[in-house]
Amino acid sequence: MTWRWLAGLARKRPVRLLATAAGVAIAVSLLAALGGFVVGSEQTMTDRVAAGVAVDWQVAVAPRHDPAQVVDALRADPRTTAAVRVGFADAPGLHARSGGTVQDTGAARVLGLPPTYRATFPQAVRVLVGNTDGPVVAQQTAANLHVTPGDTITIRRAGRPPYQVRITGVVELPQADSLFQRIGAPPQSQPVAPPDNVVLLPTARFDAVYAGTPVSTQIHVARDHAALPHSPDAAFTEETGAANNLEVRTSGAAVVGNNLGAALDAAREDAGYARILFLFLAVPGAVLAAGLTGAVAQAGAERRRNEQALLRARGAAPGRLVRLALLEAGLVGLVGVLVGLAVAWVTGATPVLSWDVAAATVGVGVAALVVAAPAVRDVRALAADQAARSRSRSRPAWMRYGLDLLLIAAGLVIVRVSGQNKYTLVLAPEGVPTVSVSYWAFLGPTLAWAGAGLLCWRVADGILTRGRRLVTAAARPSLGALAPTGASMLRRRRRVIARSTVLLALAIAYACSTATFNSTYRQQAEVDAQLTNGADVTVTEPVGADVPPSYADRLGQVAGVRSVEPMLHRFAYVGNDLQDLYGIDPTGITRATHLQDSYFQQATATQALAGLQARPDGILVSAETVNDFQLSPGDLVRLRIQDARTHRYVTVPFHYVGIVNEFPTAPKDSFIVANADYVAARTHSDAVGTFLIDTGGRDITGVADRVSAVVGTDGSVGTLLQARGLVGSSLTSVDLSRLTRLELAFALLLAMAAGGLVLGLGLAERQRGIALITSLGASVRQTRRLAATEPVYVLVVGTVIGLAAGWALASLTVTVLTGVFDPPPTSLAVPWTYLAVVVVGAAASVLAGTVLVTRRARARARDLLRGT
């Protein structure tokens, strides 16, 4: 009997079985695909963060300990790929004589590097001029001493005679902050800024000069990045453990400055947000797919109860019927799981066994919940009156007590309270190996999402219950005299219609909220890249270069360039804090770059620039500076800036006019924005540090190549395209194009399935009624219009509520996930084209299902009336 039952289902109800399995497959494939993306994105973040670290470990050798023993301990670790000794010495000052002038500097740092250092750590030292075959100086040092390759400098020594070296090159130290860190010291005691004067000597020369002199020794270590775990969290834990193990094995002879661990520590928060994205964007889709599966199964509930009654009348025991129901659920679950996993693999998602198993488990659970459970419940019904009572038409309790409105209100209150408390959704405490997630923040959108579904049910049911005249009037232009009949049909089936409306509304809301979030995400990733690079194309002049603003006219003549804006770059002391100072033209800066209101506090971008323009000596400073120095608008601020003539720092008065959080090309920590003309006048130099070039977003690479030909080796050229992949470890640096395509495809599929499949199967169960209308003489046109009454109602009400709910949920999601965006968005980016495709696709699916079912019912009218 078992196999005959399955064969009969496959022969007589193939559409219903396949439709139910399709709902399971959607849930499985969505979870598996997005789970694979989470793993892949974490791997991308780990690889990108590790690749950006110049020196993985800086191991300080304790005084009176042999560096060779530390090197041996390091090389005993199989994940150590290189370990080289670096000497550090302090110099009271430097001296140089060039061009008939004499320059002296303050304290300097002298490093001894082996010949292979630059090849081992290519990101630690970048050659600007000359070569590293001999002594070299840092870029700022060369500017301070006015020296070039071939010049001789004098290095002073405490208590010993000075010595001279002929420099062979000028270099940049891109990660000087970490290079000159105080290893083992707490964060608050770290240097505010790296030293301005640095000399790099070959190890042999360094050892000879500083023999018998107290120096410090570090072992710079390169680690095997390929062996790191895929998750930044796990990689951080492993690297931290390895560093601690080294310190224990060397009995205190080594203290590790774990640069790789620090970078991974910063990325752990982004990895936490990647998992949160999965919860926010995948789980609602899986729940919706489960609801869709349940609706498909429920569409044939009446027929299934009739079939069970027939089997029981023929002597089938309740236990046999339960086993048949479980077998059907198992078949649906198996097919759904296999198809779902196949779809996930086809989409290119990273196969992850744990995620695939979890997704398959969810698929089996959905099949058991929506297929087996209702069938078992029907089998165990003891009498027909019990089933009748279970299908009572009284209003649900949640509707009588207003649960939908309470859920929405509670969700909004939770989101608002969380925002006021400045909660941290993802917290990665320094040195703590685990990342904590504030799941409290999930409660707000979750309650609002559930409340929106129940509200949709209330509206759809209420219109049919209390708005019969309205429904009749709306249907009259299409149905004419049959409008009251159509309204009565809708009212009689209001429970089924309300369920279909809720599914369609939630599917459209899911598509709308997901698409809006992804569009906003892409928008902010572009803003982040624009903020990092400064403009479409950026020309950065080396420190010490004397390039006037008029050079912008030459760059403006390059084909494809729409506008060029020069920006001065200086360094200024605010108290003892050395900060970047940018001089701009407030009236012209926006011609080459985009400034968002979120870049500034207590003012829009337009207001901040207007305030700067109104006061020539005005400055915009960071909120940290305002708090540290207790500044109020208009307060006098004295900065120390280097004078171009004397090369000494002089005091320049400014007045505080506003707060700036972000600015093109500026670092993420404190900086200052001022008027370029005022800065140039007070420093006796209008030398430009950066030229911002606008191309209108067109042919950026081609324009950059042509600009490079003009600039030559006198400056470096960066593009927006390069910045998109170099915005640090922020989650917005991860390419979400594949995730977006997956989510939007699933959202569109869910909307079309909720509209067409559920309604189509519901109409299929009513084929007998359609056949009866046909036999009574209704025309094809009348039959189709009567049959379309229910789908049109569901489509109109579901679409309107779904779009409204989707926009509201997208707003809540972006609010809760503010930490994902850097900087936060000022407005949502709504993908109108995609939303139009979703609505049109759902409508086409609904109408296609209606036409097919109606045509089949009319063709088989006689057989249906006979019950065959």
Is residue 690 a contact partner of residue 538, using CB atoms and an 8 Å limit?
yes
pLDDT for residue 193: 74
Confidence check: pLDDT of 820 > 80: no
Is residue 592 a contact partner of residue 564, using CB atoms and an 8 Å limit?
yes
pLDDT for residue 382: 38
Alpha-carbon distance of 572 to 650, in angstroms, equals 10
Backbone angles phi, psi at 462, to 5 degrees: -65, -40
pLDDT for residue 59: 96
* Residue range 698-709, pLDDT digits in tens: 899 899 999 988
pLDDT for residue 865: 55
pLDDT for residue 289: 83
Q: Which residue has the higher pLDDT, 381 or 232?
A: 232
Q: Which residue has the higher pLDDT, 469 or 15?
A: 469
Both tokens of 501, joined, read 């409306």
| Nearest Cα residue to 255 out of 70, 82, 84 | 70
Most confident range (mean pLDDT) of 235-249, 349-363, 489-503, 714-728 is 235-249
| Nearest Cα residue to 340 out of 753, 20, 14, 23 | 23
Average pLDDT over residues 153-172: 92
- Measured at the alpha carbon of residue 550, what is the angle toward residues 129 and 130, in degrees to the nearest 5? 5
Both tokens of 518, joined, read 């992804």
* Residue range 398-417, pLDDT digits in tens: 888 899 999 999 988 888 77
Q: Which residue has the higher pLDDT, 797 or 17?
A: 797
pLDDT for residue 172: 85
Name the one residue in this structure whose structure tokens are 């009498």. 383
pLDDT for residue 220: 97
Both tokens of 581, joined, read 């100072």
pLDDT for residue 703: 92
pLDDT for residue 455: 93
Alpha-carbon distance of 515 to 832, in angstroms, equals 9
What angle, rounded to 10 degrees, do the helices at 767-775 and 758-765 form? 60
pLDDT for residue 201: 96
Work out the pLDDT band at 246, boundaries 50, 70, 90: very high
pLDDT for residue 864: 52
Of all helices (H) and strands (E), which one includes residue 1? none
| Nearest Cα residue to 378 out of 327, 331, 312, 332 | 312
Average pLDDT over residues 598-606: 90
* Residue range 734-746, pLDDT digits in tens: 555 666 777 788 8
Decide: helix, strand or coil at residue 472. Answer: helix
Is residue 195 a contact partner of residue 151, using CB atoms and an 8 Å limit?
no
Contacts of 382 (CB under 8 A, 6+ apart): none
Domain parsing of the chain, residue ranges: 1-57+71-77+228-392, 80-223, 439-531+731-868, 546-714
Backbone angles phi, psi at 511, to 5 degrees: -65, -45
Is residue 79 a contact partner of residue 239, using CB atoms and an 8 Å limit?
no
Q: Residue type for 768, please?
A: R
Name the one residue in this structure whose structure tokens are 């974490």. 42
Confidence check: pLDDT of 295 > 80: no
Q: Residue type for 726, please?
A: L
Average pLDDT over residues 307-324: 74
Q: Which residue has the higher pLDDT, 729 or 247?
A: 247
Both tokens of 497, joined, read 């219609």
Percentage of the chain exceeding pLDDT 70: 85
Work out the pLDDT band at 1, boundaries 50, 70, 90: low
Work out the pLDDT band at 764, boundaries 50, 70, 90: low
pLDDT for residue 236: 92
Average pLDDT over residues 113-135: 91
pLDDT for residue 383: 39
Work out the pLDDT band at 102, boundaries 50, 70, 90: confident
Cβ of 266: how many Cβ atoms within 10 Å?
Answer: 17
- What's the pTM value of the predicted model, to 2 decimals? 0.73
Backbone angles phi, psi at 519, to 5 degrees: -65, -40
Contacts of 555 (CB under 8 A, 6+ apart): 539, 561, 564, 691, 693, 707, 710
* Residue range 372-394, pLDDT digits in tens: 887 777 776 633 444 444 444 56
Alpha-carbon distance of 450 to 444, in angstroms, equals 10
pLDDT for residue 371: 80
| Nearest Cα residue to 713 out of 179, 47, 190, 127 | 127
* Residue range 418-470, pLDDT digits in tens: 766 555 666 655 555 556 666 676 788 888 888 998 999 999 999 988 888 88
Is residue 676 a contact partner of residue 619, using CB atoms and an 8 Å limit?
no
* Residue range 256-287, pLDDT digits in tens: 999 999 889 878 877 777 777 767 777 788 88
| Nearest Cα residue to 685 out of 547, 808, 820, 526 | 547
Cβ of 615: how many Cβ atoms within 10 Å?
Answer: 15
Instruction: Tell me the residue ranges of DSSP E strands in 496-648.
Output: 537-540, 563-574, 577-584, 600-601, 618-621, 636-642
* Residue range 838-861, pLDDT digits in tens: 999 888 888 887 777 677 666 665
Alpha-carbon distance of 352 to 345, in angstroms, equals 10
pLDDT for residue 728: 41
Cis status, amide bond into 202, omega within 30 of 0: no
Any idea what DSSP says for residue 557? T
Alpha-carbon distance of 158 to 418, in angstroms, equals 57
Of all helices (H) and strands (E), which one includes residue 76? none
DSSP per-residue string spanning 757-823: IHHHHHHHHTHHHHHHHHHTT--HHHHHHHHHHHHHHHHHHHHHHHHHHHHHHHHHHHHHTGGG-SS
Q: Which residue has the higher pLDDT, 255 or 348?
A: 255
Both tokens of 535, joined, read 């403009």
The radius of gyration of the chain's CA atoms, rounded to the nearest angstrom, is 35
Both tokens of 109, joined, read 């740092």
Average pLDDT over residues 120-135: 90
Q: Which long-range CB contacts under 8 A does 202-205 form with residues at least 24 apart? A: 202/112, 202/113, 202/114, 202/115, 202/134, 202/135, 203/85, 203/87, 203/112, 203/113, 203/114, 203/115, 205/112, 205/135, 205/165
Q: Output the average pLDDT for the chain.
A: 83
Tell me the torsion sign for CA atoms 556, 558, 563, 568. Answer: negative
* Residue range 524-579, pLDDT digits in tens: 878 888 888 889 999 988 766 788 999 999 999 999 999 999 999 988 888 877 78
* Residue range 33-72, pLDDT digits in tens: 888 877 887 888 888 889 889 999 999 999 889 999 999 9
Give 7-36 as a 3 state SS string.
HHHHHHCHHHHHHHHHHHHHHHHHHHHHHH
